[in-house]
Chains A and B, each alone.
Chain A
Amino acid sequence: MEKFTTHTGIGVPLRRSNVDTDQIIPAVYLKRVTRTGFEDGLFAAWRNDPEFVLNKPAYSAGSVLVAGPDFGTGSSREHAVWALQNYGFKVVLSSRFADIFRGNSGKAGLVAGQIDEKVVERLWVYLEENPGGQITVDLESKTVTTPGGEVEDSFDIDDYTRWRLLEGLDDIGITLGHDADIASYESGRPSWKPVTQHG
C-alpha cells in the first residue's frame, strides 16, 4: 500500500445523508474479478442527472469527498471503496461512517476522516461558494484546511489505522509476524469445534 501523509485536492460537496453502499456502487457493477475499473459504477444512479455534483465540471476532478452522516451504510462490499479510489478520491470526510466501510477504507488506503457535523456544513458552504475549491487533508496532524483558512479543523481517525496509512503497511505481513501466537492459540482450541473438511 502507498504511504499517505498529506493530500490536497478538489473538494466535492455531497449533500446527502445515508449514502449507502448500493448508492456508491450498485450490485450489478460488482461482477468484476479485479480491483480496478469500478469507477464506471460509482454513484451510478445519479450519474445521468446533470445536477449531480460530480457531473459539474468544477467538481468532476474531485479527490476529497465531503458527505453527510452515515456514509457507507449497508453492504460489506469493498468495491465501494475501490470505486471511489478508481474514480480518483483519496479522502472521504463525514460526520459518521458505517463501521465496515470505515474498516475497508483503512485496509485499501482511502482516508475516512470523521469530522464534526458543523465542519461538514462549513466545508459544504465553502465548496459551493468556491466550486473547484481545494481541501488539504494532513494525516500527520489530522487536520483539514482550505487554502484561505476559511475552514481549519481536525478530523478523527483511529491511531492504528493512521499509523498503518502513514507507513503504508501491509496488514497480512504484520499478522504473519505473529505466526507463533496463532499456532499456539490453534493448539489449544477444543476438539469439538466444527470443521468443514474431515479426514
Chain B
Amino acid sequence: MGKTLAEKVWDEHVVRSTPGEPDLLYIDLHLIHEVTSPQAFDGLRLSGRQVRRPDLTLATEDHNVPTLDWDKPIADPVSKTQVDTLRKNAEEFGVRLHSLGDVEQGIVHVVGPQLGLTQPGMTIVCGDSHTSTHGAFGSIAFGIGTSEVEHVLATQTLMQAKPKTMAVTVNGSLPEGVTSKDLILYLIAQTGTGGGQGYIVEYRGQAIEELSMEGRMTVCNMSIEWGAKAGMIAPDQVTFDYIEGKPEAPKGADWDAAVAHWKTLVTDADAHFDEEVVIEAADVTPFVTWGTNPGQGVPLGANVPSPEDYEDATDKIATEKALEYMGLQAGTPMREVKVDTVFVGSCTNGRIEDLRLAAEIIKGHTVAEGTRLLVVPGSVRVRNQAIEEGLDKVFVAAGAEWRGAGCSMCLGMNPDTLAPQERSASTSNRNFEGRQGKGGRTHLVSVPVAAATAVRGTLSSPADLVPATV
C-alpha cells in the first residue's frame, strides 16, 4: 500500500523507532521567539548543555515588540527583559537572531517562508502553536512547549508518537470574493475545535491547488484551531516558484536535486487516510465568528445563533456564555454588529498578498467614524514591499494606522490591545476570551471582510460597499 504525504515526510525523519515508545524524530528547522524560549535556555545552562545545531535554529522577536516607536527601547520593562533575555541567549549559544530594527525581523511564521528556510518535506517546530503555517509547503510543522524547545535545542530531535492521518478534500473552486480564510473558518465551524485532534491533516482538492502559497499558509496556520497536530499541502509548481530565488533557497545543482525530491512528496494513489472530510468549495461564503472559539462561526449573511439552536447541554451553556461575553443578542444579523477596531495582520493574514487585497478594497474609501483600522505587516520585509508598492499611502489616506511589524493585536502581549468590551473584526486566528486584551470582543474575519468592515463600521463584505469614486 502507498503512503500519504504525511507518512512520507514522517518516515524520512525517524532517527529511531522502537515498539512501545514514541519515534525519535529529527528536526530540520527550529524557530524561536522571546516568549517560550527563556526557560529552555535556562535548562540548558543548568545541565551544562549546548545547542546541538545552531545552524538549524533561527530566532526572531515578535510577540512582545511594539509596532510604534520600535526604534526606541521597549517601554514595558517586563517585555524588555524578555526580549533582552532572548538577545543574551542567542549571543551565548550562537543562535542567529533577527532583532527589532533588522530587515528580517517579524512574526516567526512570516520570516521562515520569506527567507526560503521553509521548504517541502521538512520537519519544523517552534514554541508556538501556529507553526502549522509552514505545512503549506508540504512540511510537517507543529507547535511545541518549552520543555520540548529545550529538548530540540539539546538534541535536534523530538520524541513523538506517530499521529493518524486525515484528508480534507475541497472540491471545485472557491466562489469569487471568498478567501482561504473563509474556507478554514467554515471548516472549523463544521468540525469544532477538537475535530482534528490526533491527526496530521492534508488539505487537497481543486480549491486548495488553486490557492496561492500565502493563501495556503492561511489555511495551514489555522489547523491548530480545530485541534490538528499539523496541516499540510502537497508541494507543487506554485510552491517551487514561491521558494525559488529566496535568500536561503537551494541554488544550482542543489535546487535541481531538491525539486526532484520535492516532486515525490505527494500522497500515493493507493494510500489510506484514517479519516476523510469532503467540502464543496461552492458552499463556502464570507465567514465570521460570533463566539469565543474559532469553531463558533457563521456566514456573514446569517444571524447571531441562539442557545436554543443546540441540542447538546454543553453546547447550550457554551453558547450562552459566549453571547454574554461577546455582548450579543441571539437573532441579530451579523451585518448589524458594530465594530470599534479592525485589525489586519498576524501570522494568519499579515503577508503582502493580504495587504494588497486590503488596499485594493479600501482604496478611495475612508475608515468609518468611530472605527479604527490597524494595518500591521507580518515582517519588516512585508512592510518594505508594501511601501514600495504604495500600499501604505492607500491605508494612511483612508485614515488607517500603518504600523511596524510584529504579532501586534493578535494577542494582548504588546501595547496593541483592545479595551474591555471593545469589539474587533480581526484577521487573526483566535477569538478566545481576553485574547486581544482583557474583556475585548473578537470577531475573526477574512481580509476582504476586515477592509469592508473598516469602511462601514459594521461587519460587512466588499459587496456591501458603495463603489469608491477614484
A binds B: yes
Contact across chains for B22 and A160 when beta carbons are under 8 A apart = yes
Contact across chains for B254 and A171 when beta carbons are under 8 A apart = no
Most interface-central of B147, B248, B439 (chain A CB within 10 A): B147
A96 is an interface residue with CB less than 8 A from chain B = yes
Residue of B nearest to A81 (CB): B145
B194 is an interface residue with CB less than 8 A from chain A = yes
Q: How far is the CB of B49 from chain A (nearest CB, A)?
A: 7
Which B residues lie within 8 Å of A69 (CB)?
194, 314
Contact across chains for A196 and B39 when beta carbons are under 8 A apart = no
User: 0/1 per residue, B190-205, Cβ < 8 Å to A?
Assistant: 0011100110000000
Given contacts A30-B35, A175-B24, A197-B54, contact A73 B257 (CB under 8 A): no
Which B residues lie within 8 Å of A75 (CB)?
128-129, 143, 411, 430
A118 is an interface residue with CB less than 8 A from chain B = no
**Cα distance, A27 to B410, chains bound together (Å):** 10
What's the interface size class on A, roughly? 35 or more
**Cα distance, A103 to B15, chains bound together (Å):** 20
Contact across chains for A70 and B227 when beta carbons are under 8 A apart = yes
A17 is an interface residue with CB less than 8 A from chain B = yes
Contact of A23 among B29, B81, B117, B432 (CB under 8 A): B432
Contact across chains for B82 and A33 when beta carbons are under 8 A apart = yes
Contact across chains for A20 and B432 when beta carbons are under 8 A apart = yes
Contact across chains for B144 and A76 when beta carbons are under 8 A apart = yes
Q: How far is the CB of A121 from chain B (nearest CB, A)?
A: 10
Contact across chains for B250 and A192 when beta carbons are under 8 A apart = yes
Choose the segment among B154-162, B273-281, B376-384, B387-395 that binds chain A (4+ C-beta atoms closer than 8 Å): B154-162
Which B residues lie within 8 Å of A26 (CB)?
412, 434-435, 438
Contact across chains for A27 and B58 when beta carbons are under 8 A apart = no
Most interface-central of A45, A172, A181 (chain B CB within 10 A): A172
Contact of A33 among B38, B47, B58, B248 (CB under 8 A): B38
User: 0/1 per residue, B63-86, Cβ < 8 Å to A?
Assistant: 110000000000010110110010
Which B residues lie within 8 Å of A190 (CB)?
257-258, 261
Which B residues lie within 8 Å of A33 (CB)?
38-39, 42, 81-82, 85
Contact of B151 among A15, A23, A171, A185 (CB under 8 A): A171
Identify which of residues 160-199 in chain A touch chain B, using a CB-to-CB cut-off of 8 Å: 160, 171-172, 174-176, 178, 181-182, 185-186, 189-197
Which B residues lie within 8 Å of A186 (CB)?
26, 156
Given contacts A68-B314, A190-B257, contact A22 B432 (CB under 8 A): yes
Contact across chains for A196 and B96 when beta carbons are under 8 A apart = yes
**Cα distance, A176 to B145, chains bound together (Å):** 19
A99 is an interface residue with CB less than 8 A from chain B = yes
Which A residues lie within 8 Å of B349 (CB)?
none
Which A residues lie within 8 Å of B324 (CB)?
none
Contact of A159 among B20, B63, B122 (CB under 8 A): B20
User: 0/1 per residue, B32-64, Cβ < 8 Å to A?
Assistant: 000110110010000101001011111000011
Residue of A nearest to B14 (CB): A185
Identify which of residues 242-282 in chain B touch chain A, using a CB-to-CB cut-off of 8 Å: 248-250, 254-255, 257-258, 261
User: 0/1 per residue, A96-140, Cβ < 8 Å to B?
Assistant: 101110011001100000000000000000000000000000000
Which B residues lie within 8 Å of A150 (CB)?
none
Which B residues lie within 8 Å of A194 (CB)?
28-29, 116-117, 119, 122, 248-250
B146 is an interface residue with CB less than 8 A from chain A = yes
Contact across chains for B227 and A77 when beta carbons are under 8 A apart = no
Contact across chains for B293 and A96 when beta carbons are under 8 A apart = no
**Cα distance, A22 to B117, chains bound together (Å):** 30
B127 is an interface residue with CB less than 8 A from chain A = yes
**Cα distance, A192 to B150, chains bound together (Å):** 26
**Cα distance, A189 to B13, chains bound together (Å):** 9
A49 is an interface residue with CB less than 8 A from chain B = no
Contact of A104 among B64, B145, B159 (CB under 8 A): B145
Contact across chains for A178 and B16 when beta carbons are under 8 A apart = yes
Which A residues lie within 8 Å of B76 (CB)?
31
Contact across chains for A20 and B145 when beta carbons are under 8 A apart = no
Contact across chains for B55 and A195 when beta carbons are under 8 A apart = yes
Contact across chains for B117 and A178 when beta carbons are under 8 A apart = no
Q: How far is the CB of B213 from chain A (nearest CB, A)?
A: 17
Contact across chains for B16 and A196 when beta carbons are under 8 A apart = no
B148 is an interface residue with CB less than 8 A from chain A = yes
Which B residues lie within 8 Å of A88 (CB)?
none
B21 is an interface residue with CB less than 8 A from chain A = yes
Contact of A73 among B15, B35, B55, B227 (CB under 8 A): B227
B413 is an interface residue with CB less than 8 A from chain A = yes
Q: How far is the CB of B391 from chain A (nearest CB, A)?
A: 28
Which A residues lie within 8 Å of B161 (CB)?
158, 160
Contact across chains for A193 and B20 when beta carbons are under 8 A apart = no
Which A residues lie within 8 Å of B193 (CB)?
18, 70, 73
Contact of A35 among B21, B28, B39, B155 (CB under 8 A): B39
Q: How far is the CB of A107 from chain B (nearest CB, A)?
A: 4
Q: How far is the CB of A106 from chain B (nearest CB, A)?
A: 9
Contact across chains for A181 and B63 when beta carbons are under 8 A apart = no
**Chain B interface (Cβ within 8 Å of chain A)?**
15-16, 20-22, 24, 26, 28-29, 35-36, 38-39, 42, 47, 49, 52, 54-58, 63-64, 76, 78-79, 81-82, 85, 96, 116-117, 119, 122, 127-129, 131, 142-148, 150-151, 154-157, 159, 161, 192-194, 197-198, 224-225, 227, 229, 248-250, 254-255, 257-258, 261, 292-293, 314, 317-318, 321, 411-413, 430, 432-435, 438-439
Could you show 9 A-B contacts with beta carbons less than 8 Å apart?
A16-B321, A27-B63, A27-B413, A31-B81, A45-B439, A76-B127, A104-B145, A107-B145, A196-B96
| Minimum-distance CB pairs A-B, first 9 | A107-B147, A78-B145, A104-B145, A76-B143, A33-B38, A192-B254, A22-B432, A27-B413, A31-B78
